[in-house]
Structure 1
Amino acid sequence: MKKLSLLILSVFIAFSAVDTAKAQQETKIGYVNPQAVLAKMPEMRAIQQRLQNFTERKQEELTQKQQEYQLAVQEFEQKVGVISEEASQREQERLMGLQEELQIAQQQAQQEIQQRRQELLGPMFNQIGTAIDAVAEQMGLTYVLNTTTSNGDQIILYASQEYQNRYDITDAVMQELGVFE
């Protein structure tokens, strides 16, 4: 009985090893740098200009609010010695309210800029995603990894030259999109 159990266990281990080896052979991992693809897309220049214009408008609005706040502070400092304690207290509360409004405006501007960036770049990322899917399917890849974060930090720190030549699909994705260097 012990020999039969050992034989069954050996057969099971052998089949498991074959299945594992087969699964490893079938797994193909490619990688792509979407930021590089995005930078090469012809629409990117126009989008960058639109984002820059939008950001400049928001910055001008914030600068105006900042100047208004600074002017109010200067006016308060000039009259602080000649107004009553009660009026001084009210003016300080008003200045604190203006400062809070300025901080809220800064946060809102950052959110609006980020939202505008997503609105403009979203369709391009969808195009890139579709091209990645098509290239991955053509090459029979199981997974495709992003080589960098949105900040440009590298995720894949090393790939042999042979692996890079074979599985870096960045150029193929650009070709799929009709973007050429």
Structure 2
Amino acid sequence: MNLVKTFRLTLAAALLTAGTLAATSAQAQAPLKIGYTDVQYVLARMPESKQIESDLKAYNTQLEGQLKSKATELETKYKTYQQGEATMTDIVKADKQKELQSMQQSIQEFQRSAEQSLQQKQQTLLKPALDKLQKNIDAVAEENGYTYVFNSDGGGSPLLLHAPKDGDISDLVLKKMGINPAATPAPVTSGPKAAPAAAPAASPTAGKTKTKTKK
């Protein structure tokens, strides 16, 4: 199961949904001036970025632990069932099989809800940083007379395919936030590891052992 894509795509996509165009009424009468910024480049150099990634990894680890615990419990119960299957009555056997199937369905549902929960966690953690970035993009655009500012990163599909270097306001935005571009690390390119999919045993049948691994 892929609970989270790379941190890079998350940051870029989230900002795009928040809006990356900046314009003011004062600039409306001025000559058209277009600028651009690499959203990933800026976000990865903001102090908040490291904390967001750390918190996201911690939350993902928590989900991984819960998933592993559920899978281990199911595996243990299935082994117990196999060991006692030969001496079980049909009624008891059917009841045990039903219990195992219910546990397996519960794990699959947990995997789905965990993915949604992690996505919501990402959005919650990102919002303050995105709001701060948008505010500073607006400020730099207004101060330097830019009518529009585009995102040149675009999460793998750049919105801007060609532009002059002097239109890049990325470093101006960083400096506006008090961040020295030359003193900050390279952009984050990977996020927390995806929680491993559980490998619960399939519904037991007539003494045959089947194992189903969900990827």
Q: Which residue of 2 aligns with 1:128?
A: 133
By how many angstroms is 1:109 displaced?
1.9
Alignment partner of 1:30: what SS?
Answer: strand
The aligned runs of 1:50-65 (5 Å cut-off) are 50-65=55-70
> What is the total number of aligned residue pairs between the two structures?
153
Give the partner amino acid of 1:102: I
Q: Report 1:13-162 matches (<5 A).
A: 26-149=31-154, 152-156=155-159, 158-160=161-163
How high is the TM-score relative to the length of structure 1? 0.75
Alpha-carbon offset, residue 129 of structure 1: 0.5
Which residue is 1:178 aligned to?
A: 178
Which one-letter code corresponds to 2:132 in the other structure? Q
Correspondence for 1:167: 167
Q: How far 1:85 sits from its partner (Å)? A: 2.0
SS at match of 1:140: coil
| 2:33/2:145 contact within 8 Å kept | yes
1:147 Cα deviation after fit: 1.8
Q: Which runs of 5+ in 1 are unaligned?
A: 1-22
Deviates more, 1:45-54 or 1:119-128: 45-54
So what's the TM-score if we normalise by structure 2? Answer: 0.64
8 A Cα contact 2:67 2:111, kept in partner: yes
Aligned-pair CA distance for 1:179: 1.5
Is contact 2:151–2:160 with CA below 8 Å preserved after alignment? no
Other structure's SS at 1:80 match: helix
Q: Which has the larger share of helix? A: 1
Question: Matched residue of 1:136: which SS?
Answer: helix
- Partners of 1:29 and 1:73 in 2: how far apart? 63
| Alpha-carbon distance in structure 2 between the residues aligned to 1:28 and 1:45 | 33
Which of 138-147 and 90-99 deviates more?
138-147
Deviations 1:131-161 (A, max 9, x none): 1111122232222221223xx413146324x
Q: Between the two proteins, what is the percent identity of the paired residues?
A: 32
Larger radius of gyration: 1
Q: CA deviation at 1:64?
A: 0.6
Measured on the aligned residues, the alpha-carbon RMSD in Å equals 2.0
Post-superposition offset of 1:32:
1.3
Instruction: Identify the residue that residue 15 of structure 1 maps to in structure 2.
Output: none
Gaps of 5+ in 2: 1-27, 182-215
| Distance in 1 of aligned mates of 2:33 and 2:85 | 73
Render the CA deviation track for 1:59-89: whole Å, top value 9, x for unaligned: 1111111101111121222222221222222
SS in 1 for 2:158: coil
Verify the 8 A CA contact 2:35 2:146 in the aligned structure 1. Answer: yes
